[in-house]
Amino acid sequence: MVDAGYDAVWPPDALVVWFHVAIARAVAQQEEMHVPSRNQERQEREARERLRVYSARQEVHRARTRRRVRDNWAAVIGVVLVAGLAATTQVLYFTTGPGAPAPEPSASDQAAGEETPAPGENVGEVPDPSLAEGRTWTGELVLNEGVTLGIELDGEAAPQAVASFVQSVEDGYYDAKTCHRLVRSEGAGLLQCGSLAGDGQADPEYSFGPLENVPADELYPAGTIAVARGADAYSQGRQFFIVFEDTVLPGDTGGYTVFGTVTSGLDQLVAQIADGGIVDGASDGAPVVPTTITSVTVQ
């Protein structure tokens, strides 16, 4: 009996079959080892694509941010320019344009070297307010011999101003005095008269106060007669102004004493003097038609 133990030899055909099976298994194992590599390559490609898309989006975001910042700066600069232009336009409008305030009818400043009176004190021979008698005075003011104005003075509302005017009339002060200043602009129309030397300078030897009968609404209607003055309430003198067009005058310095009214002839003043215009075509200055006070009477 033949023993088929460990010394048995494989037949040739069986050995060939085993060899092919071993090779097949090795190939399968090698293919299995390559599968993860292909998956990894795909993942890496996808990761690179995601990175590319993310980078592109970041660049678009940065570009938009830069453009937004640039646009914001442009808007800020535009606003600043517009605001500056508006401010400049407003300044020009309210200083040299139609919005400029109407010139105020004040007596001129004291001449150089003249002593300025102390505030709150009358200077010179100012009459007592009792001279006005607390009543209405009537009379006529004639300009250039042909312009006759009927006037009324309110001795009750403005006793000190009326007393000063009446005394000056009785002293003959106004005879041949000039009306040196004409104002005619949007919102203002007046003629100022009675300066000592005809140049608008204040009289250093005559001034009085206080302010009386000042319009609370700053409106001086056509026909108003008021006292011109300088910087303070006691700088009123013999100069006065006649309003021929409704005029608004700022009251921030106290306003002006209204002491009388033109009752007739105002149209003559406009036609024969105001309509003649102002020297050099200005809105405030000497009238083209030289104007002199011919006479003044009151009773």
Coil, strand or helix: which one is 147? Answer: strand
Within a domain: 106: no
44 and 148 housed in the same domain: no
Classify residue 267: in a domain, yes or no.
yes
Domain that holds residue 226: 129-298
Domain count, the chain: 2
Amino acid at 201: Q
111 in a structural domain: no
**CA 229 to chain centroid:** 27
Question: Is 126 within 8 Å of 221 (Cβ atoms)?
Answer: no
Q: What is the pTM of this model?
A: 0.65
Q: Do 149 and 221 sit in the same domain of this protein? A: yes
Identify the pLDDT of residue 78. Answer: 60
112 within some domain:
no
* 137-174 b/e (C-beta count within 10 Å ≥ 16 → b): bebbbbbbeebebebbbbbebbbbbbbbbbbbbeeebb
Ranges under pLDDT 70 in the chain: 1-38, 47, 53-54, 56, 60-61, 63, 69, 72-119
The reply to whether 90 and 154 lie within a common domain is: no
Among 243, 273, 244, residue whose Cα is nearest residue 258: 243
Residue 123 lies in a domain: no
Q: Is residue 191 part of a domain?
A: yes
Confidence (pLDDT) at 50: 73
Q: State the pLDDT at residue 20.
A: 60
